[in-house]
Structure 1
Amino acid sequence: MEPVLKDMIWGGNRLKDEFSYEGAGDKTGEAWAVSAHPNGDCLIKNGEWKGKTLSFVWNEHREVFGGMVGDKFPLLIKIIDAKDDLSIQVHPDDNYAKVHEHGSFGKTECWYILDCKENGTIVMGHNAKTKEELCQMIDEKKWDKLIRTIPIKKGDFLQINPGTVHAIKGGTLILETQQNSDITYRVYDYDRLSNGKLRELHVDKSKDVIKVPFEDFKMTETADENQAVETLIACNYYTVQKFTIRKAETFTQNHDFQIMSVIEGNGTIDGISIQKGDHFMIPSGYGEYRLNGNMTLIGSFVTENK
């Protein structure tokens, strides 16, 4: 896939300098690496459908995806470079988004921390005990009392369910696996200006969807470099795995499709060269494949038997 790049008020230069994405600049905040969303539809870089969009392949060649049903490709993979803090935000679930966002998917997502500052933190959750207390603290802008921050380090993995208040802090680089949705409700944006104006907030919708009290989240440490493949999460929408390749390893692709992102190093898949920043898909029915080299990849597929 050819990533779709997005400049952001909080973006930085790491997608240009570390991933060498063509067209990335000094404010590029997101690379939509595997996406068939209307707001960023990736082009295929090689093979039979070179130059076609992922949505074209999804619509015209469903056999590639094991004949999955549904009018929308289910997943979206991003790399996010936050030079500055992102807005404090929350995402709706499927039911709320279907009613309030023109039939969109909700947004369940997870983060693999590619890099962060020493003693880095992120915003995760809130301290309100009741919905009334939550609304009052938002209205009175008591952000220091409301918002929870937690420490993070490179290699951490976090699952973020709808209704969870969260925000990436400056100096953090992540790979995000999520439902195919672009629905984000901003609760607070530090009164920042974009083109001379305050950015839009979505306070009422945020109050609707924030879960009270905060339900603790799943955080996984991925420190075992001797394990060739490690499952990080298996939820209703996706299963995410980490592949640590130090020699030739053989795996089997027996899912509807499998997305792979090279996050460190380089090597080959069945003799085809791949390197950091590459994102590709292994189609349905592919069977065995062989990874060789010195590299780390994040893989994902739609969880079966939901």
Structure 2
Amino acid sequence: MNKEILFLNPVFTHNIWGGTKLREEYGYDVEGDDIGECWGVAAHENGNCTVKNGEFAGQTLADLWDSHRELFGGIDGVRFPLLIKIIDAKDDLSIQVHPDDAYAAEHENGSFGKMECWYILDCKEDSTLVIGHNARTKEELCDMIEGKKWKEFIREIPVKKGDFIQIDPGTVHAIKGGITLLETQQNSDITYRVYDYDRLSNGKPRDLHVKQSIDVITVPAKPVEDSVISVKADKANELCELISCKYYTVYKLDVEGKAELNVGDKPFLIMSVVAGSGTVDGNTIKKGDHFILPNGYSNPVFEGNMEIVASTVSK
């Protein structure tokens, strides 16, 4: 007898660069024309999802992590390890960088650092992302940032729907306007803003974090050809690995008709439906739904036509 699937209520953020896709295309019940992020699976002080139904209805994911660690395989950690977002960038996000665990622990009150990855759900033709920079040395980096030589500094690379991008701590990055993506990341909300196009928020420039950014940016940047992975169409109805790193393993599942999975070897499995609809073990699921298969949920059966991005902690 399988345990109950943990279906979650997302949390939303309103952002200067956000839009309306999360309501209009994903069906989320949230008002506003500046909805930037859906935190679909989150147990963070800035966003804590609640369970929709079943035995744990109304409880937060953070509460379950603290009081029912058996649902997650009894793994160690002071907080739930991952955070899953869908991001709608109507306008360009700031140029930013994240610290690693060591820097965040020392400078951000013991926070985790932030490693993340992006799966491009939708974008305009000829879309680009900011990934990396053009400085060859730390001295050149300081000169470009402090001298506001942004055209020299910023490196943009082309992307298309279905691309997958791994962003290690220390990587300069920014989502450009017109891109919708799913982000899998460490459970952290630490972001250093390098440059924000001199935009105003409530009449004032947004805070920048120049010193911290210079401290943590990796020089030189990873080569362009190592920055983007084009996700090839692997077999349907199988869990296909996109990447496995220290903090997470991410998979893609294309359900075409019926998919029977054996996932009993994983401590738990986060799943986000990013296209289509169907069922999992008789439960109706659709684009925009996020849920967790708890530890011991070994043989789920999916039916329908869906695209799902899944993740768990790496062993």
Q: TM-score, normalised by structure 1?
A: 0.98
Task: Name structure 2 gaps, 5 residues minimum.
Answer: 1-7
What SS does structure 1 have at the residue aligned with 2:299?
A: strand
Residue 69 of structure 2: aligned partner:
62
1:149 aligns with 2:149: no
CA contact (8 A) 1:15 1:24 kept: no
CA contact (8 A) 1:125 1:148 kept: yes
1:61 and 1:275 map into 2 onto residues whose CA distance is 27
Residue 247 of structure 1: aligned partner:
257
Single out whichever of 202-211 and 219-228 deviates more from structure 2. 219-228
Residue 76 of structure 1: aligned partner:
83
How do 1:1-306 and structure 2 match up within 5 A? 1-216=8-223, 217-224=226-233, 226-228=235-237, 229-253=239-263, 254-304=265-315
Deviations 1:168-219 (A, max 9, x none): 0000000000000000000000000000000000000000000000123442
Determine what percentage of the aligned residue pairs are the same residue.
Answer: 59
CA contact (8 A) 1:35 1:180 kept: yes
CA 167–278 in structure 1, closer or farther in 2 if over 3 Å, else same: same
CA contact (8 A) 2:49 2:61 kept: yes
Tell me by how many angstroms 1:20 deviates.
Answer: 1.3
Q: TM-score, normalised by structure 2?
A: 0.95
Residue 5 of structure 2: aligned partner:
none
What SS does structure 2 have at the residue aligned with 1:117?
A: coil
1:209 and 1:265 map into 2 onto residues whose CA distance is 40
Figure out how many residues of one structure are paired with residues of the other and give that number: 304
1:226 and 1:41 map into 2 onto residues whose CA distance is 35
Deviations 1:270-291 (A, max 9, x none): 1111000000000001111111
What SS does structure 2 have at the residue aligned with 1:8?
A: strand
The one-letter amino acid paired with 1:29 is G
Tell me by how many angstroms 1:247 deviates.
Answer: 1.4
Tell me by how many angstroms 1:91 deviates.
Answer: 0.2
What SS does structure 2 have at the residue aligned with 1:57?
A: helix
CA contact (8 A) 2:18 2:89 kept: yes
Tell me by how many angstroms 1:226 deviates.
Answer: 3.9
Tell me by how many angstroms 1:71 deviates.
Answer: 1.0
Single out whichever of 211-220 and 78-87 deviates more from structure 2. 211-220
Deviations 1:47-98 (A, max 9, x none): 1111111001111100000111111100000000000000000000000000
